[in-house]
Chain A
Amino acid sequence: MTDAPDTLERPRSQWRDVWLQFRSHKGAMAGLAVFVTLILFVTLGPLIWRIDPTYIDPDPVRMIRGRNQPPSWAHPLGTDQLGRDMLARMMAGGQVSIAVGLVAMSISVLLGTLVGVLAGYFRKLDNPLMRLTDLFLALPLLPLLLVMVMLFRDALARALGPETGTFLMIVTAIGVTSWMQAARIVRGEVLALKEREFVLAARSIGTPSRRIILRHILPNVMSPIMVAATLGIASAIITESALSFLGLGFPPDFPTWGRLLFDGVDYLQQYPERVIWPGLAISLTVLSVNYIGDGLRDALDPRIRGR
C-alpha cells in the first residue's frame, strides 16, 4: 500500500484518498508508528524476552537480593519489590491493558453512538432511551460491578475458561457502565443535525432513515465520537486496575499497566521508575490513539482533504 505511485492510473477509490490524506498528516503517522511499536512490544516482546512476569525466585536469599533492582542488562527496567522482572511485567500487562482499552472503548462507543443516534433521530425513542441513560448515570458503579461479578463470573469462567471469561467480563463491565456520556453527546449533535438543510433535503427526496443516519448523520458526529473514544481508552485502562481490586479482574499476581501504576504509587519516593514506566505506556497509548483519531478525522472530512 505504501508504494503505489508507479502503477498505472486506476480510478481512485475513496478509501485510497483517505489513506493518502492520512499519510500526509505527520501527527497521525507518528501516532500510528508509536501505536504499532507498542503493539509489537506487547505481542512479540514476550516471545523474545522470555522471563515469566510472575516468576519469583523460590530461593529466599536470592529473592531478597534481587528485589528492587535498578535497570541493568539482566533486567532492563529493573525488578519490583518481589524481584519480578519489570520488563516482562510491562509486556504482559500491556497485552491486557491495550486489549481491554480498545475493546471496552469500542463497546462503550458503539453502544453510546447507537443509543445517541436512535434517541436523537427518532423522537419516539428519545424519552425512553434518555431516561435509561439517566438511570445508568445514576447507578452507583461499585455495587453494580460487585453484583455483576457475583452473577456472571463463575458462569462465564465455566463456559469460556477462566481467562477468556474474565476478559469478557471486564470489557463488558467497563463498556456497559461507560457509554452514557457518548450517548448524550451524540444525541445532542443529532438533534441539531437532523434539522440541517442537507438532512431535510435528503429526507424530502424520500431517503430512508437508515441511509440518512449512515450517510449524513454519522459522518458528521464523528469528531465528538473520536474524542470520546480516545478518552475512553484511558479510562478503560485505569478502570480495569480498579476492577481487579474488587476481585473482578485478573488474578492478583497478574500485572496490567493500571495495576502496576497503582502498586507503584506506594514506592513513588524510592523507586519513581515503577510509576513512570506504566504511566508512560498508558499516556503513549492514549496520545498515539488521539493523533491517529485526529488524522482519521481530517482524512474523512472531504472539506479538508487535499488541502
Chain B
Amino acid sequence: MKLKTALLGAAAAFGLAPVAAQAERGADGEVKVLYYQAVSIVNPYLSSGTKDVEAASLVIEPLAGFDQDGVLFPRLATEIPTVDNGGVSADLTSITWKLKEGLLWSDGTPVTSEDVKFSWEYCTHPEGGCAQAARYEGVVAVETPDPLTVVVRFDAPKPNPYQAFVGSTSPILQKAQFAACVGAAASTCTAQNNAPIGTGPFRVVDFKVNDVVQMEANPNYRDPAKPRFATLTLKGGGDAAAAARAVMETGEFDYAWNTQINPELQAQMKAGGKGEFVTGFGTLVERIEMNMTDPSPGLPEGERSTVKHPHPILSDERVRRALSMAIDRNVLNEIGYGQAGRPTCNLVPSPAAFASDNTGCLTQDMAGAKALMAEAGWTDTNGDGILDKDGKKLSILYQTSVNAVRQDFQALVKGWWNELGVEVELKAIDASVFFGGDPGSPDTFQKFYADVEMYANNFDGTDPEPYLSQYLCDKIPGPDNQWQGENINRFCDPAYDAMVAELARTQDFQARTELAKKLNDMLTKDSMVVVPLIDRGRLSARSNTLGGVVLNTWDSELWNAADWYRVK
C-alpha cells in the first residue's frame, strides 16, 4: 500500500487496495481487451482517433492525467504545478513541471526533460501534420534548465495552462527513438509509430495494423508491483453489439470499449451473467442543430446555406422553440441509450462547475408548442394537417449520419413534429461522407444543405472555452473557407462574440464558469439555435473476473490499466 501511495499521489483514492497490496508484476497472466474500432497506429500525434490514443496510453504517458472526476493528477511529474505552489507563474505565462526521479523508459534509459522538450518540437513541426497540435497552442518555448525540470512558456497569459503534456492526447515520446522522425519523416517511421518506447505499464510486442496489438508488462515500469497482467491483447473489429457479446455473453474477452447498444440489448446481454456494463458521463452531447441560413436547392450553388440568405422559417426563434418543446427527450433516451445516456438541455453538460441549471426542456409540451407556432403565425389554413403561413408549407428536411439509434431518433422526432403540424423529410448519410468535410460533396454536415441536422460533439479536457468559441461569427463555414468552419448552424450574435472574448481574458475560475454558463444558455435556452437532446455517456463492458476498472471519460479509458487485476 505504501508504494502505491507514494507513486500515485493524489489519485490514490481507488477501492482496490487490499488485493493490490500483495501483488507482483505479471502474476495475473493475460488480459484481453476488445475495441470494435481496430487500432491503426500507436502514436497519438499521428492519429487523433480515440482507439489509437487509448491504445497508445498504455505505452506512453503524459506528465499529468485526468482522473474519473476530471481532476488532474501527476503521472510523470512529481506534483501538479499551480500558482499557489509556485509551479505556475503569477502572470500565467509559464508553467514549471518537475519530473519524478529515477524514471526509466521501457528500454532502460532514463527519462529526462529533453524528451519532454522533444515531444513539443515533434508535434509543432510545421510539416509533421501532428494531430494534437492544438494541445500546444500558445506555447512559445519549452526550456530544460536541468534533466528533471521543464519550463513551458506561453505567448500570453493562459488561464488553463494544463494543455501541453497533459492527458493521453499529449504524451511524452522518447527523443532517442523519434529523433529521425521529425517533420515530413514522421509518417515514414513505421517501426517507431507502431511500437513506441514508453514509460507506461505495457510495451508493444507485436502490432498488426487495424487488427490486434499484443503487449507485455513494461519491465521498467515505475511501480515494481504493476502491472498485474503479464500480457495484454487489444483486438479490434466488428461492431459494438458483438464486442459487448464477447464480454457479457461468451466471456471471451475481459473488457470491451464503447459498447454503445440500445437498452433492450443491454438488458439481454446483462442476462448473460458474465460481466457488467460500466458507465461514465463526459461532455458528449447528441443535439439537433438548427440551420439559421436558407438551404433551399433553388438558390445558386455557393449561396445555399450561407449568411447571404437567412432561413425563411427557422430564423424565427418561436418556431425553433416550438420544435424543441415538441420533443420528449426522456423517451428518446429510454429508446436509444438507457443507462448510457441522460436527457439534457445543455450544450456543456459537465464538468459540474460549468453546467448550467437549465432543465426547462426536459418535459415535452406539445400544447405549448402548438400555441407558440400559432403565435408565430403558422396555422393550418387548408386543413391538410400541415401548418402554413403566407401560402408556404412548414416543411423541414432533417438529416443525420447512418446509425441505428439516430434513425430511431429521426423517426420519433418526425412523429412529434408531424403531430405539431410540421412536414418532415428524413435523410441519412453515410458517416464517412457526412463527417468527411469534402468541399465537393453536398452531403457534409458543414455544408448543412438541410434545415436541421443531428450529430454529437464534445470537447477535449475539462475546459469548454475552445468548444464555446466554435459559435463565433467568423467561424461560419462557407465557400470562402472551403466550408471548414465549426459554427455549423451559422449562429451569429455580436454579444456572444464579445462574451467569448471576455472568457478568454478571464483568469478567475469562478468567473469563467459563470461566463461559460451564460454562453451555453445563449445558444440553448435563450435562442434555441442548438437543441441538445441527450448527454451521452460512455458505456463499456467489463468481465466479472476483471477488477480495478474505473471508467474515465476525461482521459483515456485505459488510464488505470496498471491497476487492473484478475478477480479470483
Please say whether the chains A and B touch (CB closer than 8 A).
yes
Is residue A239 contacting chain B, with contact meaning CB distance below 8 A? Answer: no
The tally of residues in B whose CB lies under 8 Å from a CB in A reads: 37
Is residue B241 contacting chain A, with contact meaning CB distance below 8 A? Answer: yes
A245 / chain B contacts, CB cutoff of 8 Å: 402, 428, 430
A63 with B411: in contact, given A247-B428, A251-B426 (CB under 8 Å)? no
A36 to B427 Cα, complex, angstroms? 33
B428 / chain A contacts, CB cutoff of 8 Å: 244-245, 247, 251-252
Which of A38-46, A50-58, A122-130, A185-193 lies at the interface? A50-58
Asked if A266 and B429 sit within 8 Å, CB to CB, the answer is: no
A252 / chain B contacts, CB cutoff of 8 Å: 402, 407, 410-411, 426-428
Question: Nearest chain B CB to A161's CB is how many angstroms away?
Answer: 13
B411 / chain A contacts, CB cutoff of 8 Å: 54, 56, 82, 84, 252-253
**Closest B residue to A259 using CB positions:** B407
Interface string of B288-304 (1 = CB under 8 A from A): 00000000010000000
**Closest A residue to B399 using CB positions:** A247
Asked if B425 and A150 sit within 8 Å, CB to CB, the answer is: no
**Closest A residue to B430 using CB positions:** A246
Residue from B241, B297, B328, B415 having most chain A Cβ neighbours under 10 A: B415
Asked if B407 and A253 sit within 8 Å, CB to CB, the answer is: yes
A270 / chain B contacts, CB cutoff of 8 Å: 264-265, 268
- Of the candidates B265, B426, B433, the one whose C-beta lies within 8 Å of that of A266 is B265
Interface string of B414-450 (1 = CB under 8 A from A): 1110110000011111100100000011110000000
Is residue B48 contacting chain A, with contact meaning CB distance below 8 A? Answer: no
Asked if B412 and A56 sit within 8 Å, CB to CB, the answer is: yes
Asked if A58 and B264 sit within 8 Å, CB to CB, the answer is: no
Question: Nearest chain A CB to B159's CB is how many angstroms away?
Answer: 42
A266 with B404: in contact, given A54-B411, A58-B418, A150-B441 (CB under 8 Å)? yes
B430 / chain A contacts, CB cutoff of 8 Å: 146, 245-247
B241 / chain A contacts, CB cutoff of 8 Å: 266
Asked if B426 and A247 sit within 8 Å, CB to CB, the answer is: no
A158 / chain B contacts, CB cutoff of 8 Å: 297
Is residue A137 contacting chain B, with contact meaning CB distance below 8 A? Answer: no
Is residue B507 contacting chain A, with contact meaning CB distance below 8 A? Answer: no
A253 with B426: in contact, given A150-B441, A154-B442, A267-B264 (CB under 8 Å)? yes
Question: Nearest chain B CB to A306's CB is how many angstroms away?
Answer: 55
A81 to B332 Cα, complex, angstroms? 12
A64 / chain B contacts, CB cutoff of 8 Å: 331, 334
Asked if B264 and A63 sit within 8 Å, CB to CB, the answer is: no
- Of the candidates A58, A84, A150, A246, the one whose C-beta lies within 8 Å of that of B419 is A58
Question: Nearest chain A CB to B565's CB is how many angstroms away?
Answer: 32
Is residue B366 contacting chain A, with contact meaning CB distance below 8 A? Answer: yes
A58 with B366: in contact, given A245-B402, A266-B241 (CB under 8 Å)? yes
Question: Nearest chain B CB to A221's CB is how many angstroms away?
Answer: 38
Question: Nearest chain A CB to B298's CB is how many angstroms away?
Answer: 10
A55 to B443 Cα, complex, angstroms? 27
A56 / chain B contacts, CB cutoff of 8 Å: 411-412, 414-415
Is residue A263 contacting chain B, with contact meaning CB distance below 8 A? Answer: yes
- Of the candidates A82, A154, A247, the one whose C-beta lies within 8 Å of that of B412 is A82
**Closest A residue to B407 using CB positions:** A252
A158 to B364 Cα, complex, angstroms? 37
Is residue A60 contacting chain B, with contact meaning CB distance below 8 A? Answer: yes
Question: Nearest chain A CB to B309's CB is how many angstroms away?
Answer: 18
- Of the candidates B268, B414, B426, the one whose C-beta lies within 8 Å of that of A269 is B268
Is residue A172 contacting chain B, with contact meaning CB distance below 8 A? Answer: no
A82 / chain B contacts, CB cutoff of 8 Å: 335, 408, 411-412
Is residue A223 contacting chain B, with contact meaning CB distance below 8 A? Answer: no
B415 / chain A contacts, CB cutoff of 8 Å: 55-58, 63
Is residue B330 contacting chain A, with contact meaning CB distance below 8 A? Answer: yes
Asked if A60 and B427 sit within 8 Å, CB to CB, the answer is: no
Is residue B262 contacting chain A, with contact meaning CB distance below 8 A? Answer: yes
A147 to B142 Cα, complex, angstroms? 48
**Closest A residue to B269 using CB positions:** A269
Question: Nearest chain B CB to A62's CB is how many angstroms away?
Answer: 11
Asked if B414 and A253 sit within 8 Å, CB to CB, the answer is: yes
B408 / chain A contacts, CB cutoff of 8 Å: 81-82
**Closest B residue to A56 using CB positions:** B415
B414 / chain A contacts, CB cutoff of 8 Å: 54, 56, 253
A66 to B33 Cα, complex, angstroms? 38
Asked if A266 and B412 sit within 8 Å, CB to CB, the answer is: no
A55 to B385 Cα, complex, angstroms? 14
A181 / chain B contacts, CB cutoff of 8 Å: none
Asked if A247 and B418 sit within 8 Å, CB to CB, the answer is: no
Is residue A106 contacting chain B, with contact meaning CB distance below 8 A? Answer: no
A247 with B366: in contact, given A68-B264, A82-B412, A267-B264 (CB under 8 Å)? no
**Closest B residue to A58 using CB positions:** B419
Residue from A246, A251, A252, A270 having most chain B Cβ neighbours under 10 A: A252
Question: Nearest chain A CB to B265's CB is how many angstroms away?
Answer: 7
Question: Nearest chain A CB to B350's CB is how many angstroms away?
Answer: 26
A131 to B239 Cα, complex, angstroms? 38
A244 / chain B contacts, CB cutoff of 8 Å: 428
Interface residues of A in 250-307 (CB under 8 A from B): 251-253, 263, 266-267, 269-270
A263 to B428 Cα, complex, angstroms? 15
A68 / chain B contacts, CB cutoff of 8 Å: 264
Asked if A251 and B427 sit within 8 Å, CB to CB, the answer is: yes
Interface string of B317-333 (1 = CB under 8 A from A): 00000000000101100
Question: Nearest chain A CB to B278's CB is how many angstroms away?
Answer: 22
- Of the candidates B297, B419, B429, the one whose C-beta lies within 8 Å of that of A247 is B429
A57 / chain B contacts, CB cutoff of 8 Å: 415
Asked if B262 and A266 sit within 8 Å, CB to CB, the answer is: yes
A244 to B443 Cα, complex, angstroms? 14
A56 to B411 Cα, complex, angstroms? 8
A165 to B408 Cα, complex, angstroms? 25
Interface string of B249-269 (1 = CB under 8 A from A): 000000000000110110010
Asked if B433 and A60 sit within 8 Å, CB to CB, the answer is: no
A252 to B402 Cα, complex, angstroms? 8
A215 to B402 Cα, complex, angstroms? 49
A110 to B220 Cα, complex, angstroms? 69
A54 to B427 Cα, complex, angstroms? 14
Question: Nearest chain B CB to A244's CB is how many angstroms away?
Answer: 8
**Closest A residue to B410 using CB positions:** A252
Interface residues of A in 45-81 (CB under 8 A from B): 54-58, 60, 63-64, 67-68, 81
B364 / chain A contacts, CB cutoff of 8 Å: 60
Question: Nearest chain A CB to B88's CB is how many angstroms away?
Answer: 49
Question: Nearest chain B CB to A239's CB is how many angstroms away?
Answer: 15
Asked if B441 and A81 sit within 8 Å, CB to CB, the answer is: no
Asked if A247 and B264 sit within 8 Å, CB to CB, the answer is: no
A67 to B334 Cα, complex, angstroms? 12
A55 to B416 Cα, complex, angstroms? 10
A244 to B364 Cα, complex, angstroms? 31
- Of the candidates A81, A84, A146, A253, the one whose C-beta lies within 8 Å of that of B264 is A81
A56 to B408 Cα, complex, angstroms? 11
Asked if B262 and A81 sit within 8 Å, CB to CB, the answer is: yes
**Closest B residue to A63 using CB positions:** B331
A247 with B427: in contact, given A263-B404, A266-B404, A270-B264 (CB under 8 Å)? yes
Question: Nearest chain A CB to B453's CB is how many angstroms away?
Answer: 13
**Closest A residue to B416 using CB positions:** A58
B427 / chain A contacts, CB cutoff of 8 Å: 247, 251-252
CB-defined A-B contacts under 8 Å, sample of 16? A56-B412, A56-B414, A56-B415, A60-B331, A63-B331, A63-B412, A68-B264, A150-B443, A154-B297, A158-B297, A247-B427, A247-B428, A252-B402, A252-B410, A252-B427, A253-B426
Given contacts A56-B412, A58-B418, A245-B430, 7 further A-B contacts (CB under 8 A): A54-B414, A146-B433, A150-B443, A247-B430, A251-B426, A266-B241, A270-B264
CB-based closest 10 A-B pairs:
A56-B415, A58-B419, A252-B428, A247-B429, A60-B331, A252-B407, A253-B411, A60-B328, A251-B426, A246-B430
